[in-house]
């Protein structure tokens, strides 16, 4: 598509395949996709491709063989090299597609270096999904995409599906498949009237989007409102135990599958931030999820029920109520009550995608319930794609965390990320924010992968070898840089209310949202200990509960999340809390300045359009980082009365 950045699948990435002789064996729609990719590359670079759906090829003149060996739907593939050729085999067509992209990632290395033992590759998680918070109609407050920082929706424009631009939706499916994502929810979890109708009389629009994504193995999901029988069906109730309500959902779901036979299922936000839910009828969240699960079960569909349920009308004077406790308190008593096709979708932290917060204690606390871990690729609280903030290390830390001896990744049935993509020519607004989308997909496929190696992989695919070291320097560590110049030691939420961009230390301090730091003249932080605080620390397994209970054992990076401490409290670094705040905010700005200089030196190694966009955004990041530094440091100097030990200028 002219004028659209190819992200990590530029033409050049296919040169190693496009210059060689390839045989493709197998049939079916996804095999057709594989053939089309190889044929296009060969047409561009001079190679050749043959198709054989009958007998397995004898050793011959082929450099690459892509072979479908069965009719199963699995995603596993094997890769190896011997007898002078590279071979990918898969028993399912999805596996063959992923095997092709494996060869693309390897590049020339797939065809050199002698024989390679056959190695099997399989995703650790069966479902790897993106949730789009896209609105069909432009919302007066939320806009086209809620928390969207890359332009308008890929799917919707002028109140309807983008029929004339479905080619770009297909290209999007290609990008997602290339990094291992296999499902997309195409509308906002905050479902308004226009989006509600997608379930019924507008399902044909969803079907067209599904048709554009299907050639790359992407299944389509839909966010639905729990109150749909009342909003759309003119029923007087949405009670999940009411037989008329259950029948309405069964009929609506049957019509969805008539239009989209491979439909993935529903995503539901209920009893959260004003969205309707089963609490209105005295029912549990298991009752609500199981009603939808029953409607989906005959078709193999899944309901993703979000655990983001808390009191958003909290009295800031009430220190007994703790938003961090809410998901655990609501859902742990329901363990074992959810249907087999109901997946509880849990944010990776107990609050809301802050730059630093602990892993949610709900993860690992419900062994009899299927679990999806939800990340946020869209950078709502991490610079809104105006700042470089590569989140791979954050996500990797979450996935490797062991709630009770077992990594989070091994406890999950699925990984979900809120999408950071829009109709911007660079897909993600900030060209370097593409790294977050790619990294999420690759970690969802292999959660124990080295995020630094994934970053290098993306850089090589998207930019070629020239700027690799410089780009790595700009991106690697950018999450910790962002943390340094924003909120310290896990305290969070020092952002402008509403849009969440830029500093406002007390912006949420006296609000009903339950997001406080409790800074006073003596200290800062929220006491979440069992002994003297809200008791949140006790929601973890015994070992972690003991670690978090005391300021002496709590990790410094989470100290203020769990404890209210004096400004003179000494960290493991030997610095006091107040000096740490001063130092990190100065360091963060210096690191942004250094990254800006590195990027400026890459002007001859990356395309001019991408370089100009990133350079422009670097200017905004530096302006914002300085604003964060000056506001945070000035606030705490005035609050504490403790001067900076180095005598730097604080206002």
Nearest CA to 495 out of 376, 616, 624, 398 is that of 624
> Does residue 131 share a domain with residue 109?
no
Q: Over 90: is that where the pLDDT of 113 sits?
A: no
> Does residue 334 share a domain with residue 212?
yes
Nearest CA to 470 out of 432, 517, 496, 525 is that of 432
Instruction: Give pLDDT, residue 335.
Output: 98
Instruction: Give pLDDT, residue 59.
Output: 53
CA distance 516 to 316: 8
User: Which residues is 416 bridged to in the sheet?
Assistant: 129, 374
Question: What average pLDDT is seen over the chain?
Answer: 96
Q: Which residues lie closer than 8 Å to 234 by C-beta, 6 or more apart?
A: none
Average of per-residue pLDDT across 84-96: 96
**Residue 553 near residue 546 (C-beta atoms within 8 A):** yes
CB atoms within 10 A of CB 334: 17
CA distance 17 to 44: 10
Confidence at 3, pLDDT banded by 50, 70, 90: confident
> Does residue 96 share a domain with residue 177?
no
**Residue 439 near residue 391 (C-beta atoms within 8 A):** yes
Instruction: Give pLDDT, residue 1.
Output: 62
Instruction: Specify the number of domains making up the chain.
Output: 3
Average of per-residue pLDDT across 90-106: 97
Instruction: Give pLDDT, residue 485.
Output: 98
Q: Over 70: is that where the pLDDT of 58 sits?
A: no
Residue 260 in any domain: the answer is: yes
Residue 477 in any domain: the answer is: no
E strand or H helix that includes residue 622: helix 608-640
CA distance 572 to 28: 59
> Does residue 522 share a domain with residue 424?
no
Q: Over 60: is that where the pLDDT of 432 sits?
A: yes
* Structure confidence by residue, pLDDT tens digits, 211-230: 999 999 999 999 999 999 99
> Does residue 620 share a domain with residue 492?
yes
Q: What share of the chain is helix, strand, coil (3-state, %, to 5)?
A: 40, 15, 45
Q: Taking the model in full, what pTM does it have?
A: 0.97
**Residue 564 near residue 519 (C-beta atoms within 8 A):** no
User: Which residues is 127 bridged to in the sheet?
Assistant: 414
Q: Which CATH number does the domain housing residue 88 bear?
A: 3.30.379.10
Half-sphere exposure of 390 (CA within 13 A, CB side): 25
Instruction: Give pLDDT, residue 72.
Output: 78
Instruction: Give pLDDT, residue 456.
Output: 97
Residue 79 in any domain: the answer is: yes
Residue 549 in any domain: the answer is: no
> Does residue 85 share a domain with residue 66?
yes
Instruction: Give pLDDT, residue 53.
Output: 58
Tell me, rounded to whole angstroms, the distance of Cα 500 from its chain centroid.
18
Strand, helix or coil at 87? Answer: strand
Residue 536 in any domain: the answer is: no
> Does residue 270 share a domain with residue 415?
yes
In the listed set 437, 454, 471, which residue is the last one of a domain according to the structure? 454
Q: Which CATH number does the domain housing residue 601 bear?
A: 3.90.1330.10
**Residue 51 near residue 62 (C-beta atoms within 8 A):** no
Average of per-residue pLDDT across 175-182: 98
Residue 409 in any domain: the answer is: yes
In the listed set 121, 140, 167, which residue is the last one of a domain according to the structure? 121
> Does residue 337 share a domain with residue 213?
yes
**Residue 460 near residue 472 (C-beta atoms within 8 A):** no
Q: Over 70: is that where the pLDDT of 78 sits?
A: yes
CA distance 85 to 56: 14
Of residues 519 and 234, the one with the higher pLDDT is: 519
Residue 139 in any domain: the answer is: yes
Secondary structure E strands in 340-461: 342-347, 370-376, 414-418
Nearest CA to 395 out of 431, 343, 437, 427 is that of 437
> Does residue 253 share a domain with residue 106?
no
Instruction: Give pLDDT, residue 71.
Output: 79
Instruction: Give pLDDT, residue 88.
Output: 98
Average of per-residue pLDDT across 246-272: 98
By the 10 Å C-beta count (0-12 exposed, 13-18 middle, 19+ buried), 177 is classed as buried
Q: Over 90: is that where the pLDDT of 332 sits?
A: yes
> Does residue 181 share a domain with residue 38?
no
In whole angstroms, how far apart are CA 282 and each of 238, 246, 276, 325, 350?
12, 16, 12, 21, 25
CA distance 313 to 66: 57
Q: Which of 115, 193, 251, 273 is catalytic?
A: 273
Q: Which residues lie closer than 8 Å to 608 by C-beta, 6 or more apart?
A: none
In whole angstroms, how far apart are CA 262 and each of 211, 217, 444?
10, 10, 21
Dihedral through CA 71, CA 73, CA 76, CA 80, nearest 10? 30
Average of per-residue pLDDT across 496-514: 97
Instruction: Give pLDDT, residue 114.
Output: 84
By the 10 Å C-beta count (0-12 exposed, 13-18 middle, 19+ buried), 465 is classed as exposed
Q: Over 80: is that where the pLDDT of 569 sits?
A: yes
* Structure confidence by residue, pLDDT tens digits, 350-387: 999 999 999 999 999 999 999 999 999 999 999 999 99
In the listed set 103, 121, 139, which residue is the last one of a domain according to the structure? 121
Strand, helix or coil at 222? Answer: strand
- pLDDT above 70 covers a percentage of the chain that reads 98
Per the listing, tokens 């909120």 go with 487
Active site residue 352: yes
Q: Which of 131, 380, 476, 591 is catalytic?
A: 380
> Does residue 386 share a domain with residue 264?
yes
* Structure confidence by residue, pLDDT tens digits, 403-426: 999 999 999 999 999 999 999 999
CA distance 605 to 376: 30
Residue 635 in any domain: the answer is: yes
Instruction: Give pLDDT, residue 60.
Output: 66
Q: Which CATH number does the domain housing residue 155 bear?
A: 3.20.20.80
What domain range includes position 297?
127-312+320-454
> Does residue 299 share a domain with residue 429?
yes
């Amino acid at each position: 598509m002219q004028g659209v950045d190819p992200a990590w699948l530029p033409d050049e990435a296919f040169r190693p395949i496009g210059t060689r002789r390839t045989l493709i064996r197998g049939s079916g729609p996804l095999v057709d996709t594989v053939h089309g990719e190889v044929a296009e590359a060969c047409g561009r670079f001079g190679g050749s491709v043959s198709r054989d759906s009958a007998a397995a090829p004898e050793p011959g003149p082929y450099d690459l063989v892509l072979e479908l060996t069965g009719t199963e739907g699995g995603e596993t593939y094997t890769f190896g090299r011997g007898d002078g050729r590279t071979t990918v085999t898969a028993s399912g067509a999805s596996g063959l597609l992923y095997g092709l992209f494996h060869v693309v990632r390897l590049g020339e290395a797939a065809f050199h270096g002698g024989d390679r033992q056959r190695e099997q590759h399989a995703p650790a998680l069966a479902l790897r999904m993106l949730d789009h918070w896209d609105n069909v109609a432009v919302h007066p407050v939320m806009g086209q995409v809620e928390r969207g920082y890359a332009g308008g929706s890929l799917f919707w424009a002028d109140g309807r599906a983008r029929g004339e631009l479905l080619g770009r939706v297909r290209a999007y499916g290609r990008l997602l498949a290339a990094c291992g994502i296999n499902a997309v929810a195409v509308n906002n979890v905050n479902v308004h009237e226009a989006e509600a109708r997608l379930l019924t009389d507008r399902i044909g629009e969803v079907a067209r989007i599904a048709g554009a994504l299907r050639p790359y193995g992407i299944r389509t999901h839909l966010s639905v409102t729990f109150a749909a029988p009342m909003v759309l069906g003119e029923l007087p109730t949405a009670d999940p135990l009411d037989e008329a309500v259950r029948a309405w959902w069964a009929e609506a779901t049957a019509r969805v599958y008539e239009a989209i036979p491979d439909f993935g299922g529903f995503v539901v936000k209920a009893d959260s931030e004003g969205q309707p839910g089963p609490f209105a009828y005295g029912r549990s969240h298991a009752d609500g999820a199981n009603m939808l699960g029953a409607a989906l079960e005959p078709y193999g569909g899944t309901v993703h029920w979000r655990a983001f349920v808390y009191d958003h009308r909290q009295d800031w004077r009430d220190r007994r109520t703790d938003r961090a406790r809410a998901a655990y308190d609501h859902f742990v008593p329901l363990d074992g009550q959810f249907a087999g096709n109901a997946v509880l979708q849990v944010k990776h932290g107990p609050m809301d995608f802050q730059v630093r917060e602990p892993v949610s204690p709900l993860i690992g606390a419900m062994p009899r319930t299927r679990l999806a871990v939800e990340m946020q690729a869209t950078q709502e609280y991490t610079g809104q794609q105006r700042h470089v903030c590569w989140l791979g290390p954050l996500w990797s830390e979450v996935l490797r965390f062991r709630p009770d001896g077992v990594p989070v990744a091994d406890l999950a049935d699925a990984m979900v990320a809120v999408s950071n993509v829009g109709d911007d020519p660079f897909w993600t607004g900030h060209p370097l924010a593409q790294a977050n989308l790619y990294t999420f997909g690759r970690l969802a496929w292999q959660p124990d992968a080295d995020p630094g190696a994934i970053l290098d992989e993306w850089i090589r695919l998207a930019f070629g070898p020239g700027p690799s070291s410089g780009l790595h320097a700009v991106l690697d560590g950018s999450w910790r840089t962002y943390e340094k110049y924003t909120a310290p030691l896990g305290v969070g939420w020092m952002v402008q209310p509403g849009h969440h961009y830029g500093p406002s230390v007390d912006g949420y301090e006296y609000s009903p949202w339950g997001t406080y730091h409790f800074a006073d003249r003596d200290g800062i932080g929220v006491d979440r200990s069992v002994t003297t605080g809200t008791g949140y620390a006790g929601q973890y397994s015994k070992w972690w509960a003991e670690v978090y209970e005391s300021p002496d054992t709590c990790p410094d990076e989470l100290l203020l999340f769990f404890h209210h401490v004096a400004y003179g409290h000494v960290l493991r670094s030997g610095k006091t809390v107040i000096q740490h705040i001063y130092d990190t905010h100065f360091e963060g700005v210096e690191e942004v300045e250094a990254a800006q200089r590195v990027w400026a030196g890459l002007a001859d190694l990356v395309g001019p359009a991408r370089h100009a966009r990133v350079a422009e955004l670097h200017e905004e990041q530096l302006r914002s980082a300085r604003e964060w530094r000056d506001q945070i440091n000035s606030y705490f100097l005035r609050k504490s009365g403790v001067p900076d030990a180095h005598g730097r200028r604080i206002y």
